[in-house]
Amino acid sequence: MQTKITRSFSKRSLRRVGQLLSIVALIGMGASPSFANKKPFKPDSGSVTVRSIEVSSRAIRHFHRDGTARPIVGKLRWRGGLILSSTDTAFGGYSGLTLSPDGKSLIAVSDAGTWLSADLSYKKGRPFGLHKARIGPLLALKNRRLTRRRDRDAESIRLLKGNLKYGTALVSFEVNQRIGFFDIRGGRLGGPSRYLRPGRGLFRNKGLEAVALLSGKKSRRDVIAFAERSLDSNGHHRGWIWNNLKAPGRPVALRNLDGFDITDAAGLENGDLLVLERRFRWSEGVKMRVRHIKAKTLQPGAILNGKTLVRADMRYEIDNMEGLAVHKDPAGKTVITLISDNNFNTFLQRTVLLQFELLSK
């Protein structure tokens, strides 16, 4: 009996230590105290040049940290994951993610003002590694440098037209709050041609966090964006819908449930919307949630709610999950990809890429 009690206590103690380390590691997230938002680990990306980098990948076999193989998680099916790392000092801080329609290439944006492009390989349907990775700086109008830190805080990216080799992407910025139309040339993210801007009154470090495209009738594609945690007078998350990209966005709201912050959003082919959320408290660590919102409710002036697809805490292989992307696999199944912002704290945090299949029922 003595031995069993000791072993049990030891396991509980180790889990508790792990939780405490994770909590300390999450200093710098938007949900932590304001002093932490300075992110002391964040590099100065003002002098970053476009270059190839090596990215190492280590497989995450099971979503549950206890190592058990339980593929169904909420209304999703676990596909696999990777822990990504690089010796390049500009690697990390990824807050936004977009994938090609086949899921074989990606572009991620960092809140330090850089982009990462790479090919994503698979083995038996599981993500296997990043290849041909390149990194470069996000630019200002007329391809000028973003010299001020407040202008570099990119949080979300969506492919508006074309592809990830040649096309146009929308990139949202949180501090100097705007959505830029960025050219993609040869797989590189060039400078923006113009910006969309939401209404005034957003908190500086709780501003534009998510941008998504909504599929509509006659191939029309509306844009929807949300603030991280800028609540309206009713306590709901503030958002905007653009039916016409040359006109001001019209307000929409997402119901604030359990104190989660919005970190990203992505549209589905049928016009529905997925929203990625994160919650952090010193007493409980970090949590994540993905909500599914039906297309018919996505109207200006609406108060959105949606159903929870998955909710996870530190018992699972999550970190500071901030980026969300959607693609179709060869069988036509919808795959959801998440990426974490490691706050450039490689000692205590990880850049994690997770994939799930959206179950049909």
pLDDT per residue as tens digits for the range 230-285: 888 899 999 999 998 888 899 999 999 999 999 999 999 999 999 999 999 988 89
**Mean pLDDT of all residues in the chain?**
88
Q: What is the mean pLDDT of residues 321-336?
A: 97
Percent of the chain with pLDDT over 90: 73
Structural domain boundaries of the chain?
2-358
Which of 4-13, 21-30, 192-201, 203-212 is predicted most confidently? 192-201
| 249 touches 196 (CB < 8 A) | yes
43 φ, ψ (degrees, to nearest 5):
-80, 160
pLDDT at position 44:
86
CA quadruple 60, 65, 71, 75: dihedral sign: negative
In this structure, how many other beta carbons lie within 10 angstroms of the beta carbon of residue 314?
Answer: 18
pLDDT at position 201:
53
Looking at per-residue pLDDT, the higher value among 20 and 268 belongs to 268
Separation CA 188–CA 190 (nearest Å) = 6
**pLDDT tens-digit series, residues 57-68:** 999 999 999 988
Closest CA to 96 of 154, 156, 136, 152: 156
CATH architecture of 2-358: 5 Propeller (2.115)
3-class SS of residue 300: coil
pLDDT at position 199:
64
Helix H or strand E encompassing 12? helix 2-25
- Rounded to 5°, angle at Cα 329 from 154 and 114: 15
pLDDT at 18 exceeding the cut of 50: no
Q: What is the mean pLDDT of residues 155-173?
A: 96
Looking at per-residue pLDDT, the higher value among 199 and 244 belongs to 244
Separation CA 127–CA 307 (nearest Å) = 27
**pTM beyond 0.85, yes or no:** yes
pLDDT at 30 exceeding the cut of 50: no
Closest CA to 142 of 193, 179, 105: 193
Residue 273 in tokens: 């919307």
